[in-house]
C-alpha cells in the first residue's frame, strides 16, 4: 500500500465533494477529483487539497458518460497509483411534482446519481478486487430512505444507491472491500441555496437539532467510514441529518 493511498472523489469542485476531498487529504490520502462544469472551482479544491499535503489529480469528467469515466480512472491511476478509496458524491436535483416532471429531468437525475455511481464503481472495483483491498462510500440522501414529495426522481435515484450499496457489500466483502453509504439531511451547499423560505422554515421545525448541517459533518462521517476505525462496518446507509426523519 502506498504511503498516501489514493482517494477518488466525484463531483468535488464544490460543496460536500470538496469538503470530503480536503478532509481525506488531511487524513493522509492523495486525491483524484472530477467535476462537470466548475473548472475554476475545482482548481480551488485542488489548491486546498495540496495545502493539506496531498498530491492531486483533477480533471473534467461527466459521471453519466461511461467512456469518460473509464478514461478518467485510467489517467488518475497512471498519475497517482491505484484507487484505494472511491467516494461517489456527484449528484443533482431537478425537482417537480411527478405529473409536471419532463422525461429529461427524470433521466438526467437517474443518470447522474445512480448510473454515475455504477460507472465509477464499475471502473474501480475490479482493481480493488485484484488487490483485495478497497473502500467505497456512496453519498446518498435521506430522500432515498424516507422519500420526498416533488423529488421522486431524486429519491428513486438515492434509494437505488442505498440498495446498490448493500448489494455490492455482499458481492465484495469476501475480497476485503467495504461498501457503505452516507445519507445527509439538509446540508448548507449550493444544492440547498434555492430552497424557499417556507421550505427552509418547515425543515428547521422538523429537524430535532434545529439547524441545517455543514459540509464538515458529512466529510467527518465519510472519513470515519473510510478509516480502519470502521473496519467491521459494511453495507450500511448511515444518516447524518440532525435527527431528521419522516
Under rule CB under 6 A, residue 109 binds ligand NAP:
no
Question: How many beta carbons lie within 10 A of that of residue 150, not counting itself?
Answer: 15
Under rule CB under 6 A, residue 242 binds ligand NAP:
no
Under rule CB under 6 A, residue 192 binds ligand NAP:
yes
Report the half-sphere exposure of 90 (CA within 13 A, side-chain side).
Answer: 34
Cα gap 9→218, rounded to integer Å: 13
Q: Identify which range of 30-38, 70-78, 98-106, 223-231 contacts ligand NAP by CB under 6 A.
A: 30-38
Question: How many beta carbons lie within 10 A of that of residue 127, not counting itself?
Answer: 15
Taking residues 116 to 135 in sequence order and writing x for each that binds ligand NAP by CB under 6 A, - otherwise, the string is --------------------
Taking residues 147 to 186 in sequence order and writing x for each that binds ligand NAP by CB under 6 A, - otherwise, the string is -------------------------------------x-x
Pick 104 or 231: Cβ nearer ligand NAP: 104
CB distance 245 to 184 below 8 Å: no
Rounded least distance, CB 152 to ligand NAP, Å: 14
Pick 131 or 166: Cβ nearer ligand NAP: 166
Of 190, 202, 233, 243, the one binding ligand NAP (CB under 6 A) is 190
93-102 own/partner pairs: CB under 8 Å, 24+ apart: 93/151, 93/154, 93/191, 94/153, 94/154, 95/150, 95/151, 95/154, 96/150, 97/149, 97/150, 98/152, 101/152, 101/153
Of 8, 9, 13, 22, the one binding ligand NAP (CB under 6 A) is 13
Phi, psi at 134, each rounded to 5°: 165, 160
From 35, 118, 146, 154, active-site residue: 154
Rounded least distance, CB 230 to ligand NAP, Å: 19
CB distance 24 to 226 below 8 Å: yes
CB distance 225 to 180 below 8 Å: yes
Rounded least distance, CB 5 to ligand NAP, Å: 22
| Run of H or E including 57 | strand 56-60
Pick 52 or 120: Cβ nearer ligand NAP: 120
Rounded least distance, CB 130 to ligand NAP, Å: 26
Of 4, 49, 72, 91, the one binding ligand NAP (CB under 6 A) is 91
**Sheet of strand 134-139, all strands in order from the earlier edge strand to the far edge:** 56-60, 30-35, 6-9, 83-88, 134-139, 177-184, 237-240
The footprint of ligand NAP (CB under 6 A) covers: 10-17, 34-38, 62-64, 89-92, 112, 139, 141, 184, 186-187, 189-192
Amino acid at each position: 500500500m502506498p504511503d498516501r493511498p489514493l482517494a477518488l472523489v466525484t463531483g468535488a469542485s464544490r460543496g460536500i465533494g470538496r469538503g470530503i476531498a480536503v478532509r481525506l487529504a488531511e487524513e493522509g490520502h492523495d486525491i483524484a477529483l472530477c467535476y462537470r462544469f466548475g473548472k475554476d472551482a475545482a482548481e480551488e479544491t485542488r489548491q486546498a487539497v495540496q495545502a493539506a499535503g496531498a498530491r492531486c489529480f483533477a480533471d473534467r469528467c461527466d459521471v453519466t458518460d461511461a467512456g469518460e469515466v473509464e478514461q478518467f480512472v485510467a489517467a488518475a491511476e497512471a498519475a497517482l497509483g491505484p484507487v484505494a478509496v472511491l467516494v461517489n458524491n456527484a449528484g443533482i436535483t431537478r425537482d417537480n411534482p411527478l405529473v409536471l416532471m419532463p422525461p429529461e429531468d427524470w433521466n438526467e437525475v437517474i443518470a447522474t446519481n445512480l448510473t454515475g455511481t455504477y460507472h465509477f464503481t464499475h471502473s474501480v472495483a475490479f482493481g480493488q478486487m485484484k488487490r483485495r483491498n478497497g473502500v467505497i462510500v456512496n453519498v446518498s440522501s435521506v430522500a432515498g430512505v424516507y422519500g420526498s414529495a416533488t423529488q421522486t426522481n431524486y429519491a428513486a435515484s438515492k434509494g437505488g444507491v442505498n440498495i446498490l450499496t448493500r448489494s455490492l457489500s455482499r458481492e465484495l466483502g469476501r475480497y476485503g472491500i467495504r461498501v457503505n453509504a452516507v445519507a445527509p439531511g439538509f446540508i448548507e451547499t449550493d444544492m440547498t441555496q434555492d430552497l424557499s423560505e417556507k421550505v427552509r422554515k418547515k425543515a428547521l421545525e422538523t429537524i430535532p437539532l434545529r439547524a441545517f448541517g455543514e459540509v464538515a459533518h458529512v466529510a467527518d462521517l465519510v472519513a470515519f467510514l473510510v478509516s480502519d476505525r470502521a473496519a467491521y462496518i459494511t453495507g450500511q446507509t448511515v444518516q447524518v441529518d440532525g435527527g431528521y426523519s419522516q
